[in-house]
Structure 1
Amino acid sequence: MTSTRTQRFGAIALAAAAALAFTPAQAGEVEVLHWWTSGGEAKAAAALKITLQKGGHRWKDFAVAGGGGDSAMTVLKSRVVSGNAPSAAQIKGPSIQEWAQEGVLANIDDVAKAEKWDELLPKVVSDIMKYKGSYVAAPVNVHRVNWLWANPEAFKKAGAKLPTSWDEFFVAAEALKKAGIVPIAHGGQNWQDFTTFESVALGVGGAEFYKKALVQLDGATITGPTMTKVLETFKKVKGYTDKNAPGRDWNLATAMVIKGEAGMQLMGDWAKGEFVAAGKTPGTDFVCVAAPGTAKAFTFNVDSFAMFKLKDAANIAAQKDLAKEIMAPAFQELFNLYKGSIPVRLNMKMDKFDDCAKASAKDFVDTAKAGTLVPSIAHGMAVPSAVEGAIKDTVSQFWNDDKMSVADAQGKLAAAARTK
């Protein structure tokens, strides 16, 4: 299961719904497929439900358990094939275009134009929400993936300084190891391996290399000397994890940093929810900095809802209101305050957000302008799912198999990139 779907949100006050009120032109029903079924995730869905019901629409919950969304996609396919699609479904990344190619998604350009989405979203994000130039999905949030989380007390004990480069990272890791602290907390799932890998790739090779190798899947770049260095650095990180890492969940790795058992973790901003839930304060009890070498870049993971073609006029009106409210400032603020992510709108006030979120929001804007805002391949934003799975498997094989050479890994990556 991917990390973005396992956060804790905290309680969402019903009173906030008043701030989200709107008046629909025609009351209808919205059936929304999602896999936010755990305690905190269910509250996120509830925030959207309250928003729609406040305006007179009926909300029909179509929740399918399973954090990765695989079960939900199986159910969705059967519904669509039988001509009974929901109003909206939690779909993200290239999967949006895959569904649109089937001719089942609705054009919501009228909502996007009225609400000025093209002005409010970075182009790299809005392009993912479109098919052949038209909006077919609404983005909910942005998670930054390339974060390094650190325990300042552990660093103090080790006499180490926070790293800004991979060379500095290994100096700090060595100091932590000598102090009897696990340098890097890590878990055993392949998406965790790949989250680390893409941060290494971005930090070692830079945004242009990342785009060529992991988004455009350029064979020469994948088999070239920069990727060799990336893989060597990635494998070196493994040496600073502990022997109990295989099979460990990401949140248990975060707990090691919270307790001071480990000094660092490479993980997206959903990790912040674990620190906050443990009563820790950003900047004091824990530190969030960009992964080594990636301060001027940003790997994003955006949750979104794709809109399906409907026939009933009232339900179509309700669907359009759903799309509108997902991008409205009040909902963007409410939802993201509890999810640990940041608003996807570029002009949002961040007064109520913590320092990590404020830093993330600033970097989101800056990297969008600089062209260094890149999609996370580890979290389903960059390439078709079949290619993603093949590359993910190769990266984990290399991470776990000490006998696999860097050259072998590059060859396997190149082959995985050609997966159809």
Structure 2
Amino acid sequence: MLKRFGFMLLSGAALVALASGANAQEKQRAEVMHWWTSGGEAAAVKVFADRFDAAGGQWVDSAIAGGEAARAAAINRIVGGNPPVSSQFNTGRQFDDLVGQDLLADLSAVANEGGWAKVVPQAIVDAASRDGKFYAVPVNIHGQNWMFYNTAVLQKAGVSEAPANWDDFFAMLDKLKASGVTPIAWGGQAWQEALVFDAVLFGEGGKDLFLKVYKDHDEEVVKSEGFRKAVEAFGKLRNYVDPGAPGRNWNDATAMVITGKAGIQIMGDWAKGDFINAKMTPGQDAGCAILPGEQGYIMGGDVFVFPKLGGSAEATPVQALLAKTMLDPETQIEFNKVKGSIPVRTDVDTSKMDVCAQKGAALVKDPAKQIPSVNFLISADTVGQIQDAVTNFFSNPSASTDDFIETYAGIIGSAD
């Protein structure tokens, strides 16, 4: 009797093992390529992974540090015939060539079922679509013209509130410099410097000038007094960065603010994820403000594309499940709370998100305050040319404003 009972136990364990193996085989595996490797980013991507696993999938993480490196690796695999299930790109035109080569799945059926076009800002719908078809899943909205600051460091320097205009902004930097800290934690990479330039350009020239430059490709506006003022203000920032800035990663610059070595950082709100990860409360010890004032929200963000698998023109079941999971309302709130961004869906309740996120979400609800980033409006090649021009200008204190404007006008005039 004991032997028989032992056999029954063994058989039961074997059945459990077999059932577990069967369940593992049934799970829909999805290799996802991305560049979210900093502390806050890793915590955010885990939300997607956990929610996808809970929905019946199996997230296979493929993280590659650095946006350019990750995109290049994904493109090589897609073009080479060994695509991942999904891969991250920035919202905009970075995946144009993949669409042109007919290498991405059409997500329109999933998008129509989920009513994406009704709950996502039109500029982002346009950026995720080509010829009326969805080729990417937008997962967030990143504000690119944020100023994050260490409240205690500013208070010690005699600054009690965020600047409302450029005069106040430079006065704040002077006070920080006099207090002995690095005023601006500067990420000395081309994409970061171009991001700061765009924040200054919008802050100085407003929406009209910004869109005439990047949407209309108006060379004459580039040669205007408004554009010149922006260039001069940007160049003036050289006086407030430290010698170690060249080549610095954005998250290393964020760490300077977190540890009190620097006062502020001009960066997209993905930086907020690292403040949160460091147990600093956004809007309190980690201050936030749109630079300067609150004229509008330069909208960037992230999307995931879904390469064609097995010859299917549309998303496969595993791709559809992943896409639905990413845009699920609860997932959107949970993910963006950690990521530092705001939900791409405008129909979710953001009242329990941090005060910086609530401020951003309120701005985005007003179409007049929605400012598409350059990635929405010009090709990746043109973005690269602009980044090179900006970083060459900033890294050379003797660079001529006139020469920079002439170079910039030539790039914009030939933009596609």
Instruction: Specify the TM-score bucket, using the shorter chain as the normaliser.
Output: 0.7 to 0.9
Counterpart position of 1:14 = none
Query: 2:32·2:87 contact (CA, 8 Å) conserved in 1?
Result: yes
In the alignment, what sits opposite 1:320? 320
User: Quick one: distance in 2 between partners of 1:94 and 1:211?
Assistant: 16
What amino acid does structure 1 have at the position aligned with 2:87? A
Instruction: Verify the 8 A CA contact 2:139 2:326 in the aligned structure 1.
Output: yes
Label 1:90 to 1:280 Cα distance change in 2 as closer, same or farther (>3 A): closer
Report the CA distance between 1:107 and its aligned residue: 1.9
Distance 1:152 1:65, change over 3 A: closer
Counterparts of 2:253 and 2:33 in 1: how far apart (Å)? 30
**Aligned residue type for 2:134:** Y
Aligned to 1:376: 373
Q: Which moved more, 1:273-282 or 1:295-304?
A: 273-282
Matches of 1:80 and 1:58, distance apart in 2: 24
| 1:44-92 deviation per Cα after TM superposition (whole angstroms, max 9, x unaligned) | 4443344334343454x3625232243543453344343x433322123
Other-structure match for 1:130: 129
Return the alpha-carbon distance in structure 2 between the equivalents of residues 329 and 169 of structure 1. Answer: 37
Report the TM-score when normalising by structure 1: 0.83
Does 1:402 find its partner at 2:397? yes
CA distance in 1, matches of 2:179, 2:399: 31
- Structure 1 match to 2:85: 87
1:91 maps to a residue whose letter is F
Determine the C-alpha separation between the residues in 2 that align with 1:185 and 1:124: 31
Partner secondary structure for residue 95 of structure 1: coil
Q: Give the structure 2 partner of residue 4 of structure 1.
A: none
Note if 1:414 corresponds to 2:412: no
Contact (CA 8 Å) 1:66, 1:72: kept in 2 or not? no
Q: Deviations over 1:252-304 (max 9, x none)?
A: 333333344333221111222333333322333231011114x1211122111
Amino acid at match of 1:141: N
Does residue 199 in structure 1 map to residue 162 in structure 2? Answer: no
Label 1:355 to 1:117 Cα distance change in 2 as closer, same or farther (>3 A): same
Q: Residue 144 of structure 1: CA displacement?
A: 1.0
Instruction: Measure, in 1, the Cα distance between the counterparts of 2:99 and 2:371.
Output: 22
- 2:109 counterpart letter in structure 1: D
Counterpart CA distance in 2 for 1:234 and 1:65 is 32
- The code of the aligned residue for 1:196 comes to V
Aligned in 2, Cα 1:273/1:89: closer, same or farther, shift over 3 Å?
Answer: closer
Q: Which deviates more, 66-75 or 182-191?
A: 66-75
Q: Is the Cα–Cα contact under 8 Å of residues 96 and 129 in structure 1 kept in the other structure?
A: no
Q: CA RMSD in A?
A: 2.6
Q: How many residues align?
A: 387
CA shift for structure 1 position 205: 0.4
How big is the shift at 1:172? 1.9
Going from structure 1 to structure 2, the CA distance change for 1:58 and 1:306 (only over 3 Å counts) comes to same
Distance, in Å, in 2 between the alignment partners of 1:315 and 1:162 is 46
User: Which of 341-350 and 171-180 deviates more?
Assistant: 171-180
Cα distance in structure 2, aligned partners of 1:81 and 1:108: 22
Q: Which moved more, 1:167-176 or 1:248-257?
A: 248-257
Structure 1 residue 141 corresponds to structure 2 residue 140 = yes
**Partner in structure 1 of residue 282 of structure 2:** 282
Q: Match of 1:7?
A: none
CA distance in 2, matches of 1:35, 1:157: 36
| 1:223–1:410 Cα contact (<8 Å) kept | yes
Inter-CA distance 256–77: structure 2 relative to 1 (3 Å threshold): closer
User: In the alignment, residue 394 of structure 1 is paired with which amino acid?
Assistant: A
Secondary structure class of the residue paired with 1:128? helix
Q: Do the aligned partners of 2:299 and 2:371 also contact (CA within 8 Å) in 1?
A: yes
One-letter amino acid of the counterpart of residue 70, structure 1: A
Deviations 1:338-382 (A, max 9, x none): 21111110011124321111111111212xx21x322333xx444
Amino acid at match of 1:244: G
Q: Please identify runs of 4+ aligned residues in structure 1 that moved more than 6 A.
A: 312-315
SS at match of 2:305: strand
- CA shift at 1:396, angstroms? 0.9
> In the alignment, what sits opposite 1:18?
none
Task: List aligned pairs for 1:320-359, cutoff 5 A.
Answer: 320-359=320-359
Gaps of 5+ in 2: 1-25
The answer as to whether partners of 1:37 and 1:63 remain within 8 angstroms in 2 is no
CA 362–131 in structure 1, closer or farther in 2 if over 3 Å, else same: same
1:227 maps to which residue? 227
Q: Secondary structure, in 3 states, of the residue corresponding to 2:67?
A: coil
**Partner Cα distance (1:365, 1:383) in 2:** 24
- CA gap of 1:358–1:253, structure 2 versus 1, over 3 A, is same
Q: Quick one: distance in 2 between partners of 1:315 and 1:205?
A: 42
SS in structure 2 opposite 1:173?
helix
Larger Rg: 2
Q: Give 5+ residue unaligned stretches, structure 1.
A: 1-25
Contact 1:112 1:118 in 2 (8 A): yes
- AA at the equivalent of 1:135: F
Q: Among 374, 387, 395, which residue is 2:382 paired with?
A: 387
Whether 1:155 and 2:148 are equivalent positions in the alignment is no
Cα distance in 1 for partners of 2:74, 2:141 equals 26
